Amino acid sequence: MAQITVSDDILANIKDQVVLITGGSSGIGRATAQLCLDLGARVVIGDLNPPNPEFKDTDKAHYLEVNVTSWESLRNMFDQADKLFGGIDHVFANAGVGPTTDFLDINLNEAGELEPPSLRTINVNLLGPLYTINMAQAYMKQLASRRPMKTGSIVLTASASSFQNFSAGDYTIAKHGVLGMVRGLVHKLGTEGIIRLNAVAPSWTQTGMIPADYIRSMGVPVQSPEAVARSVVLLFADETRHGEVIYSSEGNFWEVNKSEGGLLHMTKTLLFDDDILEGVMRNMNEQAAQS
């Protein structure tokens, strides 16, 4: 796999661009917002909860309340972001919650009948990014003529649990789905050439979702959200990156999806030629659209 060095020079490309971040009030989202502001970008922070009291709306930064599981709430955020800054160049679909259920729990109502499992984590961590991608690409295509860079970008928050066994039930299921979003959409977006789609896959990172001190006491390293933020902004700033997944651990970065020795490289030894399969799928989609 290819280890990546994130240089300050490439990050500087986002100066004066507009970045919209869901889940931007804390953790990785808040660290990414601050890095973007430090680099001269304009930032919209979308979250159910406002940032800490030190955050103030300015001509460069604005907080908007959003529920990523609500289409109307997302649309309102994108509308307001466009009105505030006259366009959207990059979107970080980062809003997320921790595990809720492993889907094996048995829940009974008062009558002793089986109740369905909670879909809270699936709705936020899987449906939320899907809604955000669909909304983002629609707005960004419409506003492409205002964009200083040739391409805009969408970055998703995946996880190391996107490609490993991890006993976190619905969280792991959703994060595998985020990796599937990159793989399921990368060809069409690449053909259109307007929007790039990538993901970050952090290992243990100090956010409000994990007991960082306990994890460290078990001998497991925990990185800062500021480290992950650098990988996010790299994917905004580098127009050559599309269909990539950057794994981070202890502030070190590797591209694990497309690179030599990465996940897709390993599957090529097992599967029929994926370029041919992709062509077959595209032809099937075209025929279905015409029927």
Q: Which amino acid is at 40?
A: G
Please, which residues have CB within 8 angstroms of residue 290's CB and are 6 or more apart in sequence?
none
Band (pLDDT 50/70/90 cuts) for residue 4 is very high
Q: Quick one: pLDDT at residue 145?
A: 64
Please, which residues have CB within 8 angstroms of residue 118's CB and are 6 or more apart in sequence?
100, 101, 170
Q: Quick one: pLDDT at residue 135?
A: 96
Q: Which of the two residues, 241 and 144, has the higher pLDDT score? A: 241
Instruction: Please report, rounded to a whole number, the percentage of residues in the chain having pLDDT higher than 70.
Output: 95
Q: Quick one: pLDDT at residue 42?
A: 97
For residues 224, 212, 99 and 179, what is the CA-based torsion angle, rounded to 10 degrees?
30
- Cβ burial of 132 (10 Å; 0-12, 13-18, 19+) is buried
Q: Quick one: pLDDT at residue 93?
A: 98
Angle, helices 225-237/27-38, rounded to nearest 10 degrees: 60
Q: How far is CA 28 from the centre of its chain?
A: 11
For the stretch 28-85, pLDDT in tens is: 999 999 999 999 999 999 999 999 988 889 999 999 999 999 999 999 999 999 999 9
Does 143 score more than 80 pLDDT?
no
Q: Which of the two residues, 85 and 1, has the higher pLDDT score? A: 85
- Intra-chain end-to-end CA distance of the chain, in Å: 43
Does 146 score more than 70 pLDDT?
no
Structure token digits, residue 239: 């127009």
Maximum distance among all Cα pairs of the chain, rounded to whole angstroms: 63
Q: Quick one: pLDDT at residue 260?
A: 87
Whole-Å CA distances, 113 to 100, 103, 105, 107, 109: 21, 16, 14, 8, 5
For the stretch 157-166, pLDDT in tens is: 999 999 999 9
Q: Quick one: pLDDT at residue 144?
A: 66
Q: Quick one: pLDDT at residue 228?
A: 97
Q: Quick one: pLDDT at residue 136?
A: 96
Q: Quick one: pLDDT at residue 156?
A: 98
Least confidently predicted of 1-5, 59-63, 178-182: 1-5
Place of tokens 């460069």: 60
Task: Please name which of 146, 136, 149, 147 lies closest in space to residue 10, comparing C-alpha atoms.
Answer: 149
Q: How far is CA 117 from the centre of its chain?
A: 25
**What single-letter DSSP state applies at residue 2?**
E
Contact status, residue 62 vs residue 84, Cβ threshold 8 Å? yes
Say how far apart CA 259 and CA 31 lie, in whole Å. 27
Angle, helices 128-142/170-192, rounded to nearest 10 degrees: 20
Q: What is the pTM of this model?
A: 0.92
Band (pLDDT 50/70/90 cuts) for residue 102 is very high
Q: Quick one: pLDDT at residue 129?
A: 98
Neighbours of 241 (CB within 10 A): 21
Q: Quick one: pLDDT at residue 266?
A: 80
For the stretch 184-208, pLDDT in tens is: 999 999 999 999 999 999 999 999 8
Contact status, residue 89 vs residue 137, Cβ threshold 8 Å? no
For the stretch 240-274, pLDDT in tens is: 999 999 999 999 999 999 898 888 888 877 776 66
Does 281 score more than 70 pLDDT?
no
Mean pLDDT value of segment 131-149:
83
Q: Quick one: pLDDT at residue 81?
A: 96
- Cβ burial of 127 (10 Å; 0-12, 13-18, 19+) is middle
Does 150 score more than 90 pLDDT?
no
Does 1 score more than 80 pLDDT?
no
